[in-house]
Structure 1
Amino acid sequence: MDNFELPIIRATVELFSGIGGFRLAAQERNIQTVWANDSCPKACNVYQTSFGNKELKQGDIRELVNEIPPHDLLTAGFPCQPFSSAGKKDGVRDPRGNLFEIIVDILRKQKPSFFILENVKRLLSMEEGNHFAKILSQLASLDYHIEWRVVNAMDFGLPQNRQRVVIIGALQNDVEVDFPLIRLASTENLSELPESSFNRLTDFDSWLKIKAHSQRFPHWGIAKDGRFFGYDFTHFYDRISGVTLRTILESDVDTQFDFTESTLKRLQDSTPVNHFVQGVQILYNQVGGARMGYTVFGIDGVAPTLTSTTSRHYERYKIGNKYRRLTNVEYARIQGFPDNHCAAVSIYDQYALFGNAIPPVMVGWVMDCILENRVAKITMPKFEQLQLFSLPYAL
């Protein structure tokens, strides 16, 4: 908005850096990564090969936290396995889930102007929202305006159904108004709000108490001072036209990826399906379900969410007259990384590293929402066109 100066972000710290999804997005925006950390030796090998040895500190973040230098932006794809639908779902009871406390401590002590966090969509619904309530309560107790939104890799031109929740925080002295600036929802989104929701949005006292919430959190929301407002928008207005798996496939693939002979035998006991589930084309399934049993995928849709689970790396795709798994290079393309980004480690290891990564283009959109001050305008909805209403920054 014209009322506020564009945020200045020169230096970023990348926690739980993995193979550097946040770093690639930062580089494209001329933001310098001054410090990074991960404990996985293979991920660190890839990171150092791609970006050099200077900034990355390999090891337990709990032992290195005092080394973190001043910075403007903190980023963290904090461990998602405790919350993932593919894991044991222990959440904050899992020691990896408790690493979130480190993030809170850093924010409390260092007070960077902004932070961006990323995790699995399931975080919003685990145990009737209990886990996200704990995380949101801690963040909202700091001097930050908090906003979150579920985003999908498909909406950024990547051929993958990968839904993630991104959480951003803006230090309250970043703005001169008490009402949180809305960056992850557009003006068009806010115009979708029904009258009752709009009235709650603009009345902080009517926001729900975070700790009292005992159900799934909405896919978008804002929070501060122990309260939140959320809504499930139907549209993502920044959506880029989607691409299919067909467009990113390698043309000359080594025979090590081919499973044609074994797949043809299994298809004798499989059920033809040939339909799309959330953009994923399913051709055959052993029991006729969406993702149960032995599944063969098509390439006229997108890939299901890439993960670090080993068994998922051997899923079959029908490509021409053959059946094969996706290659490591195709995994890189599906996630939006350079083809050779993980070349420092074995092909086998690349699958898990790409499956754990955050797509750079996805977090790049979040960075742009901050850097370009994409603040939504709260305008009078159609049902209040003739009424006088304003907020400190409404236009």
Structure 2
Amino acid sequence: MQKTICELFAGVGGFRLGFDRLESGWETTWFSQWEPGARTQWAHDCYVQHFGDSFDLNNEFHTGEDISTMDKQAIPDHTLLVGGFPCQDYSVAHTLSSSHGIEGKKGVLWWQIRDTIIAKKPPFCIFENVDRLLKSPAKQRGRDFGVILACLAKEGYSVEWRVVNAAQYGAAQRRRRTFIFAYRNDTIYGQKMADISADMIIKNGGLMAKAFPIQNMGRITETVIGGDIVDVSDNFAFAFETAGYMCKGRIYTAKVTEQEEEPITLGKILQKNVDDKFYITNEKMPKWTYLKGAKKIPRKTADGHEYTFSEGPIAFPDPWDRPGRTMLTSESTLNRSTHVVSDLETGRLRLLTPVEAERLQGFDDEWTNTGMPDRMRYFCMGNALVVPMITRMGRVLDMIIAEEK
């Protein structure tokens, strides 16, 4: 089996970089990256500067355009479909206008993945999303992930998933993300896993368990999901845990405790000789102190109900001896979530540099130094995934691919 990849919602190329680092022969045949409403497609341009552009089966270039306008049949064939798609409302619109019976709500990008799967039938898929995907929406917990699983089951795929805290597996950031591994049931791997118990797959037999070993596993709960996507959207709810497996519509899930590896601490990724522009000025220090501190604020709702908004203090500055917190797209702006560190040399408080933001995500230094402004370098890193986590999964997938025909 060839080692070919299609990368959707590619960002600045985290999935591709993670597989390239394996040096095991993976080739990306096509990618797509488009930021809605952006005048300049910074992430796409960064990707192209590193890897070059990709033409489709019509010998045309459409990688920097809205994926919903792309003819999925024109995407080159691939063994592995990957993508870090946004967490959105996955409920479906009640229309029968498509040949497949449903249409997702406009702008919801999961349906672009589903349409690609229908058109290209890749043997394997790896997707990334936020950890709250498993519990959304609040009024019908588990529905959104259920819609995704139902779509995959309908197309003949089984699924393994794990919520992974990157810092538990040697990374420099406490970033929790849901990783989804889907595979066609007619692959050798799919046939092999069908004969193994769900308990063993979740505990130590599946790709996720091998890539991210666990210490222990709680009790497995089960449910069955139907093939009517609209019905799933309207009625399905289930308490998904941090690990699980789905085969032919039967779902198994359990809470697992991650096996801890030595993380990279924040102090180890800090640069020296940092430019003055990253330091916090005396004028702005009171605002930073307020944002990072505990507070209780009286508030009133639109209908007049009074309540107290409260939040606890956050470390200020962020400690050197721990991995960084989850980095957001707002990193470096004046807000509570931005990292503030004590400089290694001067001891003065400052923001992270773009290079340090890249290190938090496991990218090469200066990866985003491709002409984009600093604010976009932080934005792209806040949107990115932790690259070493991809390499860990790729290492296991290499062994799986070796057994395929």
TM-score above 0.5, yes or no: yes
Could you tell me which residue of structure 2 aligns to residue 381 of structure 1?
none
Aligned to 1:220: 243
Q: 1:286 to 1:372 in 2, by over 3 A?
A: same
Corresponding residue for 2:27?
Answer: 32
Q: 1:87 maps to which residue?
A: none
Pair 1:187–1:151, CA change in 2 (3 A): closer
**Structure 1 pair 97/120, CA: closer, same or farther in 2 (3 Å)?**
farther
User: Cα offset for 1:309?
Assistant: 2.7
Contact 1:156 1:240 in 2 (8 A): yes
Say whether the 8 Å CA contact 2:243–2:254 is kept in structure 1. Answer: yes
Aligned to 1:16: 9
Question: SS of the counterpart of 1:229?
Answer: strand
Are positions 1:361 and 2:380 aligned together?
A: no
1:264-343 equivalent positions in 2, closer than 5 A:
264-265=285-286, 285-287=293-295, 296-309=317-330, 311=333, 314-319=338-343, 321-343=347-369
Contact 2:329 2:382 in 1 (8 A): yes
Report the equivalent of 1:231: 254
Q: Identity over aligned residues, as a percent?
A: 27
- Match for 1:78: what amino acid? F
TM superposition shift of 1:48: 0.8
Mapped contact 1:118–1:167 kept (Cα < 8 A): yes
Once the two structures are overlaid, the 10-residue window that deviates more, 164-173 or 180-189, is 180-189
Partner of 1:249: 270
Q: Answer whether contact 1:298 1:319 (CA < 8 A) is retained.
A: no
With normalisation by structure 2, the TM-score equals 0.74
Aligned residues: 335
Q: In the alignment, which of 95, 105, 113 is matched to residue 103 of structure 1? A: 113
Deviation at 1:367, TM superposition (A): 1.8
Deviation at 1:161, TM superposition (A): 0.9
- Is contact 1:91-1:97 (8 Å) kept? no
Q: Is 1:208 the counterpart of 2:223 in the alignment? A: yes
- Deviations 1:105-151 (CA, angstroms, capped at 9, x unpaired): 22122111100011000101112112111111111222111111111
Q: Are 1:60 and 2:70 counterparts?
A: no
Residues 183 and 46 of structure 1: is their aligned pair in 2 closer, same or farther, counting only changes over 3 Å? same
Of 36-45 and 155-164, deviating more is 155-164
Q: Deviations over 1:156-204 (max 9, x none)?
A: 322211000010111111123434662212599789456x64xx7xxxx
Q: 1:66 to 1:370 in 2, by over 3 A?
A: same
Contact 2:294 2:312 in 1 (8 A): no
Measure how far apart 1:300 and its partner are. 2.1
Which position in structure 2 is the counterpart of 1:281?
none
Go from structure 1 to structure 2 and tell me whether the alpha carbon gap of 1:261 and 1:191 turns closer, same or farther (over 3 Å shift). closer
TM-score by length of 1: 0.76
Within 5 Å, give how 1:58-97 maps onto structure 2. Answer: 58-64=64-70, 65-80=72-87, 82=88, 90=89, 92=91
Structure 2: unaligned runs, 5 residues or longer: 36-40, 56-60, 93-103, 226-231, 297-309
Aligned-pair distance for 1:104? 1.2
SS at 2:257 equivalent: coil
Q: Which moved more, 1:102-111 or 1:354-363?
A: 102-111
Shift in alpha-carbon separation, 1:226–1:269, aligned structure 2, 3 A: closer
Alpha-carbon offset, residue 249 of structure 1: 0.2
Q: Cα 1:140–1:291, aligned 2, differ >3 Å: closer, same or farther?
A: farther
SS at match of 2:142: helix
User: Root-mean-square deviation (CA), in Å?
Assistant: 3.0
Kept in 1: contact 2:358–2:381 (CA 8 A):
yes
Partner-residue secondary structure (3-state), 1:364: helix
CA distance in 1, matches of 2:243, 2:111: 23
- Post-superposition shift, 1:264? 4.8
Please give the per-residue CA displacement for 1:316-368, whole angstroms capped at 9, x wherever unaligned.
22335211111100000110001111011111210000110112211121222
1:25 CA drift (Å): 1.5
In structure 2, the CA distance between the partners of 1:143 and 1:249, relative to structure 1 (3 Å rule), is same
- Tell me how far 1:10 sits from its aligned partner: 1.5
Greater Cα offset, 181-190 or 242-251: 181-190
